Amino acid sequence: MNARCRSPAGEPWPVSAPRPSLGAVPATSSALLRRAHTAALTTFRRLPAPVRRSLVRAGTPGFTVGAVLVVEHGDAVLVLRQPHREGWSLPGGLLDRREPPHRGVERELREETGLRVRVGLPVVTQVNAALRRVDVVYGLRVAERPQVRPGGEAHEAAWLSPGEVLSHCDGSTREILELFARAREAGAQDGELLDGAR
C-alpha cells in the first residue's frame, strides 16, 4: 500500500503500510512485558494530572509527615509533656497541607513553647515504616536557656540530659534522639561503594 496523502502545505506524505499484529511477530515473554510496561507508562503520562495523582496515592502506602526540633543548651535538651504522648517528647508535630517542614517545625515550636526560631537544614530524617510516619529532624543549639511557656498541646516543659530523656520518653522520641546523635557523629554522612563497577 503506497497510497499518498497531502499535508496542509500541499506536500505529499507517505502513508506506511499497516504493521503486522503482535500475533504475527515472534516475541519472547520478556519483550511482551517490556512493550506492555511501555504502553502502560505512555497511557499513564497522558492522563490528567489529578487522575495520575489519585492513582499513585491509591497504589502506594500513605505516610504521615511531621517535623521535630532538638533544642540543645549545653548538655540539656528541651522536652515537653503532651497529653497524647507517654513521657517526654520533643517539640514538633504533623505538617499542615502544603507546609514545608522548616515552616512546620517553626510553627509547632512557637505554639508549644512560645519560642520564635529560624531553623537551618535538617540534620536527619527518621522513617518509621511500622507506624507509617516520617519525621524531618532539625537541630538548634542555644547559647542561653530561653524562657519557655508551654502552650498548645504541651502542658509542661523541661531541660533534661539526653540520658534522662531516653529513660523517660516514648519509643518514637527515643528513635529520633538516637538517630539524631548518630547523624552528628564524625563520618556518619559518608557512605561506601559495596560492589565494584561491572
Which pLDDT band holds residue 13 (cuts at 50, 70, 90)? very low
Q: In whole angstroms, what is the distance from residue 183 CA to residue 179 CA? A: 6
pLDDT in tens, 84-117: 888 999 999 999 999 999 999 999 999 999 999 9
Domains of the chain (ranges, CATH numbers): 11-59 (no CATH), 64-183 (3.90.79.10)
Residues 148-169: b if buried by 16+ CB within 10 A, e if exposed: bebebbbeebbbbebeebbebb
Q: Is the pLDDT of residue 134 over 60?
A: yes
pLDDT in tens, 33-65: 878 878 887 887 788 888 887 777 777 668 899
Residue 4 — φ and ψ, nearest 5°?
Answer: -125, 150
Q: Using alpha carbons, select from 66, 76, 162 the residue that is nearest to residue 108.
A: 66
Q: Is 45 exposed, middle or buried (0-12, 13-18, 19+ CB in 10 A)?
A: exposed
Contact call for residues 111 and 152 (beta carbons, < 8 A): yes
What is the crossing angle of helices 49-59 and 29-46, to 10°? 130
pTM over the 0.75 mark: no
**Beta-bridge partners for 81:** 88, 156
Q: Using alpha carbons, select from 35, 29, 100 the residue that is nearest to residue 66.
A: 100
Q: Using alpha carbons, select from 72, 139, 152 the residue that is nearest to residue 105.
A: 139
Torsion angle of C-alpha atoms 95, 107, 89, 120, degrees rounded to 10: 90
Q: Using alpha carbons, select from 92, 131, 126 the residue that is nearest to residue 108.
A: 92
Report the pLDDT value the prediction gives residue 161, as an integer from 0 to 100.
93
Which residues have C-beta within 8 Å of that of residue 82, sequence separation ≥ 6?
A: 89, 112, 153, 154, 155
